[in-house]
């Protein structure tokens, strides 16, 4: 049955679970979360995506499109309903429902950074899809223990064991099958719990609250014995004491198995696999029990490493309320009622509303105005928050995503959050004079919220350029500007975010000397430029010895270099992936200034890159097309005409999945083209893969269109890949 509404209460640290729900688009994340909220008594009515009545997808744009755009956080409580190895007491679940669409990858990245455990939802018919792999790798980066929930067991073509095999091969983990489905597609009625050797059968689809525990169906006893034996063996292999018992054919108790499985999950040795149908309300209670039984509490994580900003030494902070206060801000949101909200995960210590903390990244003091427990876009005020909790804070002015908040006497900075660079941009202009001022403010607030959304002004044309992760991303941004900030704007057509880089080492001199009566200007430096591998970014080195240039002018040279890199040299696109070292120069006792050295640095860089084999880079997308077999030839032919590199094809029933790498410039408005060549029967999914060199002839055309003087001699005629 649904649990009664639990009032906000402080539970022991070992009864808190910070979990995220992650998956490919359309695998059923939000539906699963809605069921969790219903069964934990947070809502009395189950939200429906098709009706636009979901709790977690609360933005108008989310309800209209039926997708999740922003990660929504909620706090709820659960008391286990089946026989578990943990206490039958209220457990506090802090749940984040993340988007599945790749354009909103920042929401997934920042959520994973602060979670202790995750539920990966997979479609029983589709298996492990591209975005499932992507979010799985993101979670791997933060070492997050996970459970898998194979959803949509009632769907035509559902195949539980196919999905388990997919998990093993594509995600390279050890799946531990915990439940077997009873029936599939229209005959799916329940599951068999392997460890407990019992069947849980749901009657009807209405709320799924009514279930019965029954004997295992006679036609499943052989399969249950086989998979239970396999499960016990997997668990025993992770624990020496149990392995000895297993080898000697001694009885291992249910409690021992569950305790060992919990340790194995937290150590990321095993991934428990459950199955059900969220839409039909089957299997969610078992999943909730598994969350409290196998996923870690903050106590299981024990400690977190960080740097002391004063000494730059590594320090360890225990994740307990008694330790000094430290929290990581992972999301900024503009709320129409309370203004600027900062979501934070409290790692250690205790904090009260109204108290002062220090932003360890900037050194500034901030006042925590109010502390809120969030339920999607509704809020509940609390006076005190402590280690293990996820809260929203009102009143922080200078805190950004990835900043650490600490108490004054024990500062520490945690590792921040690294976000992907935008791949697409477009020009935007206000419709009226009145919109001009409002547009700047709206764009700044949206950029503050979303680290993958960038705003800049093109100084040559005076246009405002916005950049993001895809066309849908920028469409949502302009829609939010109109609805939330009442700013009407005209937008240009999307442009690909090219970049420039170098392919060989070069040296250059930059000299800036002006004498115009009185004090002059004197800056003089020598730079060495070296290429780096794709995606390695920019590095500046100071190799000055013997005081050829005074130390205080070095940052000015770096600033000049960075400014020149932003504006590019070949076609006006930013320069990336290079090391710049300043190794020599001269200065004037009177005339040298920071400004003169900044200009000298800029001159040297522009001169140097022209000798360093300049090339143009373009974003390459990983594209996955799902098409009926009849149209496979047309789809591959069309992709090949778009400079695609076909990586492979896969069979799933009578559909074919084609995976390819395609330049973003060749695949804009692809949905319309794909529909027309497959009579509307194919679909596709796309995500950024990497940057690669633009073929010479195409690069020449881009340079000419950019209005820059064609540096034909700077373009290597061969393809270069680092």
Q: What integer is the mean pLDDT of 589-610?
A: 94
pLDDT for the residue 97: 64
Give residue-wise pLDDT tens across range 528-546.
999 999 888 899 999 998 8
61 sits in the region (left: phi over 0; alpha: psi -120 to 50; else beta) called: alpha
Coil/strand/helix, residue 236: helix
pLDDT for the residue 133: 80
Report which of residues 717 and 348 the model is more confident about.
348
Give residue-wise pLDDT tens across range 622-634.
888 888 888 999 9
Q: What integer is the mean pLDDT of 483-507?
A: 88
When pLDDT is cut at 50, 70 and 90, the band that residue 593 belongs to is very high
User: Do residues 276 and 151 make contact, with C-beta atoms less than 8 angstroms apart?
Assistant: yes
Range from 8-17, 187-196, 348-357 carrying the lowest mean pLDDT: 8-17
Q: Which of 406, 432, 452 is the last residue of a domain?
A: 406
Give whole-number Cα distances, 639 to 48, 645, 657, 660, 691, in Å: 37, 8, 13, 8, 18
**H helices of 408-519, where?**
433-449, 471-485
Q: Write phi, then psi, for 256 (nearest 5 degrees).
A: -65, -45
Position 490 pLDDT exceeds 50: yes
Closest to 548 measured CA to CA, from 505, 587, 582 = 587
> Using CA atoms, how far apart are residues 142 and 411, in angstroms rounded to an integer?
23
Q: What integer is the mean pLDDT of 574-578?
A: 93
Dihedral, 333, 334, 336, 340 alpha carbons, nearest 10: 100
Give residue-wise pLDDT tens across range 253-312.
999 999 999 999 999 999 999 999 988 888 888 999 999 999 999 888 888 888 888 888
Same domain, 507 and 601: yes
Q: Which two tokens stand for residue 383?
A: 């006076």
> Using CA atoms, how far apart are residues 30 and 296, in angstroms rounded to an integer?
22
Position 66 pLDDT exceeds 70: no
Q: What integer is the mean pLDDT of 368-383?
A: 77
**For residue 683, with 0-12 CB atoms within 10 Å meaning exposed, 13-18 middle and 19 or more buried, which class applies?**
middle
Give residue-wise pLDDT tens across range 122-148.
999 888 887 788 788 878 888 899 999
Residue 195 maps to a domain: no
Position 423 pLDDT exceeds 60: yes
Verdict on whether the full-model pTM lies above 0.75: no
Same domain, 542 and 504: yes
Share of the chain above pLDDT 70, in %: 87
Same domain, 38 and 91: yes
Dihedral, 439, 442, 447, 452 alpha carbons, nearest 10: -70
Position 391 pLDDT exceeds 70: yes
Same domain, 609 and 626: no
> Using CA atoms, how far apart are residues 282 and 199, in angstroms rounded to an integer?
13
Same domain, 437 and 347: no
Same domain, 38 and 128: yes
Q: What integer is the mean pLDDT of 159-172?
A: 92
- What does the buried/exposed string (b/e) look like for 163-192 if buried means 16 or more CB atoms within 10 Å of the residue's CB? bbebbeeebebebbbbbbbbbbeeebbbbb
Q: What integer is the mean pLDDT of 215-221?
A: 92
Q: Which domain CATH number covers 529?
A: 3.30.230.10
Residue 415 maps to a domain: no
Same domain, 637 and 681: yes
Average model confidence (pLDDT) across the chain: 83
Position 43 pLDDT exceeds 90: no
Residue 251 maps to a domain: no
When pLDDT is cut at 50, 70 and 90, the band that residue 437 belongs to is confident
When pLDDT is cut at 50, 70 and 90, the band that residue 716 belongs to is very low
When pLDDT is cut at 50, 70 and 90, the band that residue 23 belongs to is confident
pLDDT for the residue 2: 38
Q: Which two tokens stand for residue 586?
A: 């001269």
Report which of residues 607 and 32 the model is more confident about.
607
Report which of residues 282 and 230 the model is more confident about.
230
Same domain, 434 and 583: no
Report which of residues 60 and 586 the model is more confident about.
586
DSSP 551: G
Closest to 110 measured CA to CA, from 376, 346, 451 = 451
Contacts of 412 (CB under 8 A, 6+ apart): 306, 307, 308, 309, 315, 317, 326, 360, 404, 406
pLDDT for the residue 67: 41
Q: Which of 406, 438, 472 is the last residue of a domain?
A: 406
pLDDT for the residue 541: 94
pLDDT for the residue 399: 87
- Going by their DSSP bridges, the two strands 645-652 and 655-663 should be labelled as antiparallel
pLDDT for the residue 236: 94
Residue 73 maps to a domain: yes
pLDDT for the residue 63: 41
Closest to 101 measured CA to CA, from 475, 650, 470, 418 = 470
> Using CA atoms, how far apart are residues 340 and 401, in angstroms rounded to an integer?
13
Give residue-wise pLDDT tens across range 76-92.
888 888 877 788 888 98
Contacts of 520 (CB under 8 A, 6+ apart): 513, 514, 588, 590, 591
- What does the buried/exposed string (b/e) look like for 519-544 if buried means 16 or more CB atoms within 10 Å of the residue's CB? eebbbbbbbbbebbebeeebebeeeb
Q: Which of 406, 439, 458 is the last residue of a domain?
A: 406
CA 629 to chain centroid: 33
Residue 209 maps to a domain: no
**For residue 548, with 0-12 CB atoms within 10 Å meaning exposed, 13-18 middle and 19 or more buried, which class applies?**
middle
Residue 250 maps to a domain: no
Q: What is the CA radius of gyration of the chain?
A: 28
When pLDDT is cut at 50, 70 and 90, the band that residue 100 belongs to is very low
Q: Provide the number of structural domains found in the chain.
A: 5
Position 98 pLDDT exceeds 90: no
Report which of residues 66 and 697 the model is more confident about.
697
pLDDT for the residue 708: 64
Same domain, 111 and 21: yes
When pLDDT is cut at 50, 70 and 90, the band that residue 711 belongs to is very low
Q: Which domain CATH number covers 22?
A: 3.40.50.300
Residues forming beta bridges with residue 148, ordered by sequence position: 120, 273
**H helices of 181-295, where?**
221-236, 240-247, 254-266, 284-294
Residue 25 maps to a domain: yes
pLDDT for the residue 69: 39
> Using CA atoms, how far apart are residues 64 and 448, in angstroms rounded to an integer?
25
Residues forming beta bridges with residue 273, ordered by sequence position: 148, 177
Question: Which single residue is written with the structure tokens 């908040």?
Answer: 405
Same domain, 40 and 99: yes
Q: Write phi, then psi, for 365 (nearest 5 degrees).
A: -90, 135
Same domain, 310 and 454: no
When pLDDT is cut at 50, 70 and 90, the band that residue 197 belongs to is very high
pLDDT for the residue 264: 95
Find the helix or strand (DSSP H, E) in which 351 lies: strand 350-352
Q: Which two tokens stand for residue 531?
A: 């290429």
Angle subtended at Cα 425 by Cα 416 and Cα 66, rounded to the nearest 5 degrees = 75
Give residue-wise pLDDT tens across range 238-252.
999 999 998 998 988
User: Do residues 503 and 714 make contact, with C-beta atoms less than 8 angstroms apart?
Assistant: no
Q: Which domain CATH number covers 670?
A: 3.30.70.240
Same domain, 453 and 485: yes
Residue 466 maps to a domain: yes
Share of the chain above pLDDT 90, in %: 37
> Using CA atoms, how far apart are residues 212 and 206, in angstroms rounded to an integer?
15
When pLDDT is cut at 50, 70 and 90, the band that residue 558 belongs to is very high
Q: Which two tokens stand for residue 308?
A: 């002391």
> Using CA atoms, how far apart are residues 63 and 442, in angstroms rounded to an integer?
22
Position 45 pLDDT exceeds 80: no
> Using CA atoms, how far apart are residues 341 and 700, in angstroms rounded to an integer?
47
Q: Which domain CATH number covers 377?
A: 2.40.30.10
For residue 607, the enclosing domain spans 500-613
> Using CA atoms, how far apart are residues 81 and 339, in angstroms rounded to an integer?
40
Q: Which domain CATH number covers 478?
A: 3.30.70.870
Q: What integer is the mean pLDDT of 9-33?
A: 79
Position 50 pLDDT exceeds 50: no
When pLDDT is cut at 50, 70 and 90, the band that residue 4 belongs to is very low
> Using CA atoms, how far apart are residues 432 and 180, in angstroms rounded to an integer?
61
């Amino acid at each position: 049955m649904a649990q009664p509404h639990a009032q906000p209460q402080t539970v022991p640290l070992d009864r808190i679970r910070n979990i995220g729900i992650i998956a490919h688009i359309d695998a059923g994340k939000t539906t699963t979360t809605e069921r969790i909220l219903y069964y934990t008594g947070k809502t009395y009515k189950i939200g429906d995506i098709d009706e636009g009545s979901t709790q977690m997808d609360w933005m108008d744009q989310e309800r209209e499109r039926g997708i999740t755009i922003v990660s929504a956080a909620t706090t709820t409580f659960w008391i286990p309903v089946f026989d578990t190895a943990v206490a039958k007491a209220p457990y506090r679940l802090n749940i984040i429902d993340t988007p599945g669409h790749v354009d909103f990858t920042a929401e997934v990245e920042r959520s994973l950074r602060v979670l202790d455990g995750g539920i990966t939802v997979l479609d029983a018919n589709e298996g492990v899809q591209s975005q499932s792999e992507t979010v799985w790798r993101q979670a791997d980066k933060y070492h997050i223990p996970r459970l898998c929930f194979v959803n949509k067991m009632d769907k035509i073509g559902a195949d539980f064991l196919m999905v388990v095999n997919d998990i093993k091969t594509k995600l390279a983990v050890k799946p531990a099958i915990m439940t077997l489905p009873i029936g599939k597609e229209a005959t799916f009625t329940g599951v068999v719990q392997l460890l407990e050797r019992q069947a849980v059968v749901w009657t009807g689809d209405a709320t799924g609250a009514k279930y019965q525990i029954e004997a295992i169906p006679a036609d499943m006893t052989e399969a249950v014995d086989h998979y239970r034996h396999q499960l016990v063996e997997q668990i025993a292999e992770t624990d020496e004491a149990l392995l000895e018992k297993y080898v000697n054919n001694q009885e291992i108790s249910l409690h021992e198995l569950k305790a060992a499985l919990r340790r194995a999950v937290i150590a990321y040795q095993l991934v428990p696999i459950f199955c059900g149908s969220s839409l039909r309300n089957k299997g969610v209670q078992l999943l909730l029990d598994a969350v409290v039984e196998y996923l870690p509490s903050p106590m299981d994580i024990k400690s977190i490493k960080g740097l002391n900003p004063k000494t730059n030494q590594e320090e360890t902070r225990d994740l307990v309320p008694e330790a000094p206060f430290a929290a990581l801000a992972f999301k900024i949101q503009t709320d129409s009622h309370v203004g600027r909200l900062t979501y934070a995960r409290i790692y250690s210590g205790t904090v009260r509303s109204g108290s002062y903390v220090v932003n360890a990244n900037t050194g500034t003091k901030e006042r925590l105005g109010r502390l809120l427990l969030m339920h999607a876009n509704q809020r509940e005020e609390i006076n005190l928050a402590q280690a293990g909790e996820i809260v929203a804070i009102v009143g922080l002015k200078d805190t950004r995503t990835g900043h650490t908040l600490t108490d004054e006497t024990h500062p520490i900075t945690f590792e921040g959050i690294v976000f992907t660079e935008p791949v697409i941009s477009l020009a935007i202009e206000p419709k009226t004079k009145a919109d001009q001022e409002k547009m700047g403010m709206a764009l700044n607030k949206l950029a503050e919220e979303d680290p993958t959304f960038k705003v800049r002004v093109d100084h040559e044309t005076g246009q405002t350029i916005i950049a993001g992760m895809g066309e849908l991303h920028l469409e949502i941004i302009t829609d939010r500007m109109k609805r939330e900030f009442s700013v009407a704007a005209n937008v240009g057509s999307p442009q690909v975010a090219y970049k420039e880089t170098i392919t060989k080492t070069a040296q250059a001199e930059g000299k800036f000397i002006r004498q115009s009566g009185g004090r002059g200007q004197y800056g003089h430096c020598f730079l060495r430029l070296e290429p780096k591998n794709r995606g390695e970014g920019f590095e500046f080195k100071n190799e000055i010895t013997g005081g050829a240039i005074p130390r205080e002018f070095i940052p000015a040279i770096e600033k000049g270099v960075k400014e020149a890199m932003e504006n590019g040299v070949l076609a006006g696109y930013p320069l990336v992936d290079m090391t710049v070292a300043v190794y020599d120069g001269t200065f004037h006792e009177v005339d040298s200034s920071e400004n003169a050295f900044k200009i000298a640095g800029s001159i040297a860089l522009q001169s140097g890159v022209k000798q360093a084999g300049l090339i143009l880079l373009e974003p390459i997308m990983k594209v996955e097309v799902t098409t009926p077999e009849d149209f496979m030839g047309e789809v591959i032919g069309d992709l090949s005409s778009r400079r695609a590199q076909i990586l492979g094809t896969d069979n799933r029933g009578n559909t074919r999945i084609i995976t390819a790498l395609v330049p973003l410039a060749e695949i804009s408005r692809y949905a319309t083209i794909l529909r027309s060549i497959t009579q509307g029967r194919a679909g596709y999914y796309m995500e950024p893969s990497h940057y690669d060199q633009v073929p010479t002839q195409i690069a020449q055309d881009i340079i000419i269109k950019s209005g820059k003087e064609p540096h034909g001699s700077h373009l290597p005629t061969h393809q270069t890949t680092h």
